Amino acid sequence: MSKTSSKANPESDRAPEVDPSIVSVMGNQHDYLPAAGNDRMLPCYDLLSRVLGTPKVHRRLLDLAGTPTGPTLEIGCGTGNLTVMARQMYPELPAADIVGTDPDPLALARAEHKAIGLTGIRFERAYAQALPYPDGSFDRARSAYMLLHLDSEVRKQAAAEVHRVLRPGGTFFVVDVGGRITPSDGFTARRMLRSHHVAGNLGDGIPQLLTGAGFARCEELHSEIVPLVGRVTYYAADR
C-alpha cells in the first residue's frame, strides 16, 4: 500500500477489532467453557474453589437473597456447590424447589452425587441462553461466577432467557468477578482489569446487561475483595 493511500484512509492498515472468544480458550473443545477451563481439571475444581474462598461467596449470596419464596433456578451451577448449599440452608422449605442447570454433563454428575439424599433439588443439562422452561416458571434465579464464562452475544441471550423464565416480580441474584475494580484493589484485580473474560463485568456492565434484557432495575448489593480472585460484586435484578 502506498503512503498516499494510507494517509487517505488511516484505518486501512489496522487489524479489525475482534472480540476474542471466551469459550475457545485453553484448548477447550466444547461450545461452552467448563468450570475449570477443561475436562481434565474438573476433578480439581472443588478443591480450587475452596482455596479461592468460594463457599464464603456462595453463602453471602444466599444471605443477601434471604428466604426463598418459591422455585429457584440456578444457571451455570457447575458441580452444584451453591445449589446444594441453598437446599441445605432452608431444609424446612421443601416447596421451594431448586433446579441447577449447566451444559456440562461431567459437572452435573458431580452435582447429582452431592445431592443424594436431599429432596426438592434436581439438576438438568441446559445452556443459559436456551433454557428449557416455560415463561414465568421461577420465583428466583441465581448465578455465581458464570457470566465470565460467556461470550458477549451469549450473555445477552442468557440474560433475556433468565428474564423470560422468571415470574413478574421475581429476582435474579448474581455474584461475579467484576464491578468497580480499580488498580488499588490489588495484583489479582489489576490482572482482572486486563482479562477479556471479565471485560463485560467491569463497572456497571452487569446492571447494564440485565436492564438491557428487560429487568426493571438491578441493584448492587455488596462488593468485596476476595484474595486470589479480585473484586467480586453481588447484584439483585428485579423482573
Ligand X SMILES: C[S@@+](CC[C@H](N)C(=O)[O-])C[C@H]1O[C@@H](n2cnc3c(N)ncnc32)[C@H](O)[C@@H]1O
Question: What is the nearest approach in angstroms of ligand X to the Cβ of residue 49?
Answer: 6
Applying CB under 6 A, the span of 116-124, 145-153, 183-191, 216-224 interacting with ligand X comes to 145-153
At residue 135's C-alpha, the angle toward residues 217 and 89, to 5°, is 70
- Could you say which of 34, 71, 179, 205 contacts ligand X (CB under 6 A)? 34
Tell me if 72 sits within 8 A of 142, measured CB to CB: yes
The upper half-sphere exposure of residue 122, i.e. CA atoms within 13 Å in the direction of its Cβ, equals: 8
Of 61 and 202, which CB lies nearer to ligand X in the complex structure?
Answer: 61
Q: Does 49 bind ligand X (CB under 6 A)?
A: yes
What are 138's three cell numbers? 421461577
In the stretch 182-201, what mask flags binding to ligand X with x, by CB under 6 A?
A: --------------------
Q: Does 172 bind ligand X (CB under 6 A)?
A: no
Of 86 and 107, which CB lies nearer to ligand X in the complex structure?
Answer: 107
- Could you say which of 111, 154, 198, 232 contacts ligand X (CB under 6 A)? 154
Of 75 and 209, which CB lies nearer to ligand X in the complex structure?
Answer: 75
Q: Does 128 bind ligand X (CB under 6 A)?
A: yes
